[in-house]
Amino acid sequence: MSAKSKDQLATAGLYVIVGVIITVLAGLLGFVFVKGLPQISWQFITSPPQIFQEGGGVGPQLFNSFYLLVLTLIISVPIAIGAGIYLAEYAKDHWVIRCIRVLIEVLSSLPSIVVGLFGFLFFVLYMGWGFSILSGAFALSVFNLPLLVRVVEQSISSVPKSQREAGWALGFSKWETIITVILPAALPGIVTGVILASGRVFGEAAALIYTAGMSTPIIDFTNWNPLSPTSPLNPFRPAETMAVHIWKINGEGIMPDAAAISDGAAALLIISILFFNFASRIIGNLMFKKMSAN
């Protein structure tokens, strides 16, 4: 067989593989959307769920998911940026640093259920926070930090050395060069990684079952005092998220329209995750174009 024939055969094989993957993904998304989109309405998005009656919604669960995501990013992003800067700019080629990188890889491959059990033992029991948004946010930070640290480190390492030398030539110190030159250049990659991690957090369920809980108390959306027990911003209240709600309905839902609620919640969850993924690409491309123009 000639080299040209081998190349054509390999190309055809790759097209077949890509076609199979796209078909499977399209079939999965189509199945979820066909069953779930008819269930989505403004009433469904804003109303609380029902336990025994039909017609409930996922309003509190949707708010809990976004609130938990914001708290997780507030906790994890600064730590990830600091760790990424250290590993990319300050860490030497030492066995300790190599061990740290191996540990980061190990942590990034941990099953979420293991992170959830750790969060239950440490944040829920040892710290005494109970099943709460705060416990869930810290557990998700542990789950998400390895990915964010790798993204920040790779984004900073990909900045050309000439930009660092330009900062030094202007008389900047190493830290000033990092803040004023390197981080702005690495920002598109960092933002893209953060938004992709947001989609990963938004769809997480196993770690939250053991930390944030599987119930949501009555929430007064007119009371925004974080210290009030009924406030939606109270970080010490239990918070069932969208993903956990879907799991709970399919496992023990007793409302007459449990299947319809589950389908609608699944479609809404996938739409939210797709939004994060598309937003990451759009924002990353815009920031890259802006940086390239400057």
What is the model's pLDDT at position 294?
Answer: 59
> What secondary structure letter does DSSP report for 110?
S
Low-confidence ranges of the chain (pLDDT < 50): none
Q: Are 85 and 75 in contact (CB under 8 A)?
A: no
What is the model's pLDDT at position 10?
Answer: 84
> What secondary structure letter does DSSP report for 237?
S
What is the model's pLDDT at position 257?
Answer: 82
Q: Which amino acid is at 12?
A: A
Phi, psi of 234 (to 5 degrees): -65, 115
Q: Two tokens at 31?
A: 């199945």
Query: What does pTM read for this prediction?
Result: 0.86
d(CA 133, CA 138): 9
d(CA 6, CA 8): 5
Place of tokens 């190990």: 106
Coil vs helix vs strand at 128: coil
Q: Two tokens at 170?
A: 């202007």
Q: Two tokens at 231?
A: 């406030």
Q: Give the N- to C-terminal CA distance of the chain in Å, as an integer.
A: 51
**If residue 171 lies in a helix (H) or strand (E), which one and from where to where?**
none
Which are the contacts of 59, defined by CB distance < 8 A and separation ≥ 6? 45, 46, 47, 48
> What secondary structure letter does DSSP report for 212?
T
What is the model's pLDDT at position 275?
Answer: 83
What is the model's pLDDT at position 163?
Answer: 82
d(CA 136, CA 238): 9
